[in-house]
Amino acid sequence: DCFVLSRGDSFMPNGTQKPNRAQKPTQAAAIATEDESHGYIWIEGEAAQANTVTPHVWYRSVAKDLLSGGDLIAHWDARHAGEAQYAFNVSEATDYTLWVRACPMRANLSYKIDSGEYQSVPMTEPIGTMTISIDGKPDPRVLAWLKAGISSLAKGAHTISFKMYGD
C-alpha cells in the first residue's frame, strides 16, 4: 500500500492516511512527498518508478477506499520474486525509521536502500491490522503497519527497493 521514512519518532502508524490529511490523495499525489513540518517522507507503493511484479489477481477486488492512495502493488509468481524501486530525496541527514504498510500473512518482503544489501521486513509485530476484502469479512487480504528498520541517510537523492515473494 505505502511506506514511510520518518525522522526519529515523528511518525506513528495509525490507519490508512497521511497524518494531517483530511481526504484521500489524488493519483497525482502518489509520488514521494516529504512533509518537513512533520518529519516524514510518504511514498505510495503503487507509484514505483520501476518494477518486475506479476500482479496478483486476487488483490484487484479489494476495498480501494481502505488504501492510502486508492491502490496497491501486489506480486505473485512462484518462479521469481517481484521487485519495485522508488526514488526519494532527504532534506536532512539523520536516522530514518522505515514503516511499511503491507500484508503480514504468509509473505516475505525485504528492502534495500541505495546499493545496500536486502534486509528482511519483520512480520512479527504488525500494527493496525485491517481486512481489505470488499465485503469486510475475515480474509487473508489484510494490511498492517510493519516497522522495517532504521537507516542513516545523507541529505540528497536516494532509492529504496522492495523484493516480494510468497510461500
pTM: 0.87
What are the residues whose beta carbons fall under 8 Å from the beta carbon of 5, sequence distance 6 or more?
Answer: 40, 41, 43, 88, 90, 96, 97, 98, 99, 151, 153, 160
Per-residue model confidence (pLDDT) at position 15:
73
Given this model, what pLDDT does residue 23 score?
43
Distances (CA, A) of 15 to 119, 131, 141: 25, 12, 16
| Torsional sign, CA 130, 74, 29, 135 | negative
Q: What is the pLDDT along the chain (167 residues), one digit of tens a residue?
A: 889 999 877 777 877 766 655 444 444 344 566 665 678 899 998 999 999 999 888 888 888 888 888 888 888 888 899 999 999 999 999 999 999 999 998 789 999 999 999 999 999 999 999 989 898 788 888 999 999 999 999 999 999 999 998 65
Residues 6+ apart with CB under 8 A from 85: 48, 49, 50, 51, 159, 160, 161, 162
Distances (CA, A) of 52 to 21, 93, 95, 140: 31, 30, 29, 23
User: What is the structure's pLDDT at 34?
Assistant: 62
Q: 62: which DSSP letter?
A: B
